[in-house]
Structure 1
Amino acid sequence: MHPTASSAPLTGGKLVLATLAVALATFMNVLDSSIANVAIPTIAGNLGVSVDEGTWVITLFAAANAISIPLTGWLTQRVGQIKLFVWAILLFVVSSWLCGIAPNLPVLLAARILQGAVAGPLIPLSQAILLGSYPKEKSSTALSLWAMTATVGPIAGPALGGWITDSYSWSWIFYINIPVGLFAAGVTWAIYRERETPVRRVPIDKVGLLSLIAWVASLQIMLDKGKDLDWFASPVIVALGVFALVSFIFFLIWELTEKNPVIDIKLFMGRNFLGGTVAISVAYAVFFSNLVLLPQWMQGYLNYRSVDAGLVTAPLGIFAVMLAPVMGKLMPKSDARVLATLAFFGFAAVFFMRSHYTTGVDTYTLVIPTLLQGIPTALFFVPLTAIILSGQPPGKIPAAAGLSNFVRVFAGAVGTSLASTGWNDRTILHHAHLVEQASVLNPTFNGAISTLQDALGGGPQALAYFERTLNAQAAMLGLNDIFWLSAVIFIAIVPLIWLTKPGKGAGAGAAGAGGH
């Protein structure tokens, strides 16, 4: 989304300060999509809800964020790029404060929905503002700097979230946004207010927007509540499913016939856009949902503190940040499809390594796959975004970037809900299989229990210890199944990349414009 203001590029200290402010706004937004991951067990405990309900803190933020992303183009035309960016940051600060003071789960979820909604314009606008601040020949530098902050966010999130949760209280994972946001908004306004983009009154597709909210919200609630209500055995889940389907079909028909659609669905008719968007969205859903489950398992079954669980996931950033500038140089000389394929095989290898974990896994064995995962993470976003945007005429790039972002972010929310449910179901299944072995007719079981009784001094303690061990083993086997399936999915979606054709078009120059 390139600015229409024909201002000269910034230089010197002003450019450094402007880049810092815009990058901090991006960082704050991306950080908030992952900072809660390790704090979920603590938040759930403090608010007296289950960890599954606590996961809504992540999924509802992502769903609200996904809905507001496609509105960025319309809002920019109505309000102006700089005003919209500054207002989005300030509202993000207010919603972060509301998250921090939330006394119960409903209030926290309402604040997170608001936070996700106002965060929508931050990613596309931060790219547009940065691209307008640098000379044209330096646009790849601008995008590399942007990609670095966008990559550091999800990586720093779990470590920072864990440290804050353990040292202070979970509220501070939200309060931390207040000084960062106020600084970013103040500096952005001071430097850019003279560079505002022209404003014009453009109509909004109200029916399209309402039907978009209807199907996204009902589908997300269905996925989040499904497990608690026993899925389609519940009339509530059936009703939500039917409503989501009907409103989605209505949305599709309406958007295809509307003159100014909120989402330009016709973009999916392009081979590159379709293949690239589906590939990046499925990959992101698997990538993000595993980032949520791993800390939960470490805290729930390996007795890791929040901060330690965060530190185990943090090495993901080492290679991701180191390779970001390399990608800027590599991209123009390489076939994006080859880089994306290498990334998917890399992810598959990492998840395959994880699928062999045991309950006695040591920290080194946990950290190595996470460290290696940084390599495919760096190779993943930029090439696929280049494929998605290649061949698009310049006027379509904002819409294409916005739509692919919407699909990807929403896929992350759906993936997290499905992965949580899948882990729970597989754990129950493995628990049932393991209990079958725990019979008084099984001499191995009897021998183990009598050894435990001798060691722990009594029958009840021995059985309680056995049950705890059984639960941990079942959860481990269930998670291994999720890791294994994740590896298979990454291999299975490789052909999608090769359905696209290597394009040289307006989009290639905006390789990063789809965002993280």
Structure 2
Amino acid sequence: MSTADPLTNDTQAPSASRVHHPALRFRLAIGLTGMLLASLLAILNEQVTAFAMADIQGALSIGHDDGTWLTTLFEAANVATMVFAPWFGITFTLKRFTIGAVLATMLFGFLCPLAPNLSTLYVLRVLQGIAGGCLPPMLIIVALRYLPPKIKLYGLAGYAMTATFGPALGTPLAALWTEYVDWRLAFWQIVPLGIVCCVAIQRGLPDDPLKLERFRSFNWTGFLSGCPAIAMLVTGLLQGDRLDWLNSDFICVMLIGGTALLAVFLVNEWFHPLPFFKLQLLSRRNFSHGLTTLAGAVILLVGVAAIPGQHLARIHAYRPLQAAPLSLLVALPLLVALPLTAALLNLKRVDSRWVMATGLCLMIATCAMGSFMTSEWIRDDFYLLQCLQIAAQPMLILAILMGVTTGLPPTEGPFASAMFNSVKTFSAAVATALIEGIGTHRERFHSNVLVDQLGNRTFIAHQGMDTAQLAQLAHRVHEQALVLMSADLYRVMACVAVALLLLVPVLPVRIYPPWTATPPSSK
């Protein structure tokens, strides 16, 4: 039986019986584990500092508005770097580049709490965002390059772990450091893990020759248009709600200017002989579907994960320590759910499209149940919703990864990694902006409706209510508006999940596990 060309057709015919796949050597496995830990280090550094930001601001006497820039600058640098990191990783070799990025992330993280002033801290956060953004893309490249087809999906499950398990650990670790140890450890926690990463990568990954000659054809137009474009768009998205979106000249410049530069970047990438994004890969139906679904899935997962914590913090004044069990309930079982889902997708008779559809249905069920929340809901009321995430997240993320990477030769890995990671991290910024923007709008809407229903203050005062009672009533109105806003956010997330579900039977085509077809040559 013949096999379709993996570069031109998504379908594969099973022919595993005639193919011999090399086993994974122990030393190489150590190197791949180091790459996995490096990617996890980057995610933990990002998430833990974000959840501990209130304590960090308090310890450094930083106001709220100034504090928002600590996150915005980090994220803008982080997302922009992921576009270009694979190119530099191939040029300087995966081993050298990853070890250098880990050491830089550790160094800047160690220096952040020691910054003498706010301006220095901003610079350190930008530099740490650049260094941290180099790490996750390397994991997909080495997985496609070194993993035997039989266990490739398990390697992708490792990447999925950094995208699901890593963020879920953010709240518990932030609570541990800020409540029981020292807020500085939100930055310093990565140092021991980083040392382990460097040792494992140095001992495990093979030595490749430097390819500095690639700089002769460096894509300067793409770099000089793409880097500021992504940074401007992320900045505009993350600061938009605080600065009132298009009513702010700064946000208009960020969004409109970023969009124009992004258009220049994409046109250049289409025609450049050595691009950062190989847009021609979008002609593969499963690749284009994977990136489209990835964008929606990240918005969905970020939104569904954020709503419970936001509700508990704003309604019941939960701190990270009190919300930590909710995150741990998802994080720990994922260590089992991810390899089990990989094993399921590795079966020839299992269609990954329906695994994805099942995950989306579970997400829809989660959002539907969450839309009935009330002000009485506490942490225990979210446990059932979180349990559904344990099954839904691996099904969704691994099915997407399988669709994007199946049929790609190792030579296409850097392009796939750049596009996949850039879409993932940019979509997370979009999700944050969406939650904040819609949340603010719906909260104001519900507040106005509730106030109109109660009548004006003069009428209420005539009913014999004193100032204390009026304040209590205002608090109850605000609380109820927040609850209704959270329920609306669940409904918005449900609409996103339904839209993704409708794409499943239309856009992607059937694919088989990597081991069922002759692996592409790495030469």
**Normalised by the size of structure 2, how large is the TM-score?**
0.84
Equivalent residue in structure 2 for 1:297, among 311, 315, 340 = 311
Question: 8 Å contact 1:68–1:120 — kept in the other structure?
Answer: yes
Q: Which amino acid aligns with 1:468?
A: H
Deviation at 1:131, TM superposition (A): 6.8
Question: 8 Å contact 1:389–1:401 — kept in the other structure?
Answer: no
Q: Which amino acid aligns with 1:477?
A: L
Larger displacement relative to structure 2 (303-312 or 336-345):
303-312
User: Is 1:382 the counterpart of 2:398 in the alignment?
Assistant: yes
Question: 8 Å contact 1:214–1:244 — kept in the other structure?
Answer: yes
Deviation at 1:366, TM superposition (A): 2.0
Larger displacement relative to structure 2 (310-319 or 81-90):
310-319
In the alignment, which residue of structure 2 is the partner of 1:64? Answer: 77
User: Is 1:238 the counterpart of 2:246 in the alignment?
Assistant: no
Question: 8 Å contact 1:42–1:170 — kept in the other structure?
Answer: yes
User: Is 1:199 the counterpart of 2:213 in the alignment?
Assistant: no
Cα distance in 2 between the residues matched to 1:288 and 1:508: 34
C-alpha spacing 1:337/1:107, structure 2 compared with 1 (3 Å): farther
- Residues 109-146 of structure 1: CA distance to partner in whole angstroms, max 9, x if unpaired? 44333223212332232355567776664444444455
User: Is 1:166 the counterpart of 2:174 in the alignment?
Assistant: no
Cα distance in 2 between the residues matched to 1:125 and 1:275: 22
Deviation at 1:372, TM superposition (A): 1.8
Deviation at 1:462, TM superposition (A): 2.3
Equivalent residue in structure 2 for 1:282, among 291, 296, 300 = 296
Deviation at 1:148, TM superposition (A): 4.2
Alignment of 1:29-40 (within 5 A): 29-40=42-53
SS where residue 35 of structure 1 aligns? helix
Alignment of 1:3-42 (within 5 A): 9-11=24-26, 18=31, 20-42=33-55
In the alignment, which residue of structure 1 is the partner of 2:389? Answer: 373
C-alpha spacing 1:219/1:146, structure 2 compared with 1 (3 Å): closer
User: Is 1:90 the counterpart of 2:103 in the alignment?
Assistant: yes
In the alignment, which residue of structure 1 is the partner of 2:502? Answer: 495
Cα distance in 2 between the residues matched to 1:141 and 1:234: 47
Alignment of 1:450-489 (within 5 A): 450=465, 459-489=466-496
Question: 8 Å contact 2:152–2:514 — kept in the other structure?
Answer: no
Question: 8 Å contact 2:79–2:231 — kept in the other structure?
Answer: no
Larger displacement relative to structure 2 (294-303 or 210-219):
294-303
Cα distance in 2 between the residues matched to 1:484 and 1:109: 37
Deviation at 1:400, TM superposition (A): 1.7
Cα distance in 1 between the residues matched to 2:43 and 2:184: 18
C-alpha spacing 1:273/1:440, structure 2 compared with 1 (3 Å): closer
Equivalent residue in structure 2 for 1:331, among 334, 340, 345 = 345
User: Is 1:152 the counterpart of 2:171 in the alignment?
Assistant: no
In the alignment, which residue of structure 2 is the partner of 1:514? Answer: none
Larger displacement relative to structure 2 (75-84 or 502-511):
502-511
C-alpha spacing 1:399/1:135, structure 2 compared with 1 (3 Å): closer
* Count of equivalent residues: 492
Deviation at 1:410, TM superposition (A): 0.8
C-alpha spacing 1:283/1:467, structure 2 compared with 1 (3 Å): same
In the alignment, which residue of structure 1 is the partner of 2:434? Answer: 418
Deviation at 1:354, TM superposition (A): 1.6
Question: 8 Å contact 1:28–1:177 — kept in the other structure?
Answer: yes
In the alignment, which residue of structure 2 is the partner of 1:225? Answer: 239
Structure 1's unaligned 5+ residue stretches are: 1-6, 451-458, 512-516
Equivalent residue in structure 2 for 1:320, among 330, 334, 338 = 334
Alignment of 1:407-446 (within 5 A): 407-439=423-455
In the alignment, which residue of structure 1 is the partner of 2:10? Answer: none
Structure 2's unaligned 5+ residue stretches are: 1-21
State percent identity of aligned pairs.
24
Cα distance in 1 between the residues matched to 2:117 and 2:366: 38
- Residues 130-167 of structure 1: CA distance to partner in whole angstroms, max 9, x if unpaired? 67776664444444455446543122221111222222
Which one has more relative contact order, counting CA pairs under 8 Å at least 6 apart?
A: 2
User: Is 1:364 the counterpart of 2:380 in the alignment?
Assistant: yes
SS where residue 51 of structure 2 aligns? coil
Cα distance in 1 between the residues matched to 2:243 and 2:335: 42
Deviation at 1:503, TM superposition (A): 3.2
Cα distance in 1 between the residues matched to 2:341 and 2:307: 29
Q: Which amino acid aligns with 1:166?
A: E
Cα distance in 1 between the residues matched to 2:41 and 2:457: 58
Cα distance in 2 between the residues matched to 1:49 and 1:424: 24
In the alignment, which residue of structure 1 is the partner of 2:18? Answer: none
C-alpha spacing 1:120/1:229, structure 2 compared with 1 (3 Å): closer
C-alpha spacing 1:9/1:223, structure 2 compared with 1 (3 Å): closer
Cα distance in 1 between the residues matched to 2:307 and 2:63: 15
**Normalised by the size of structure 1, how large is the TM-score?**
0.85
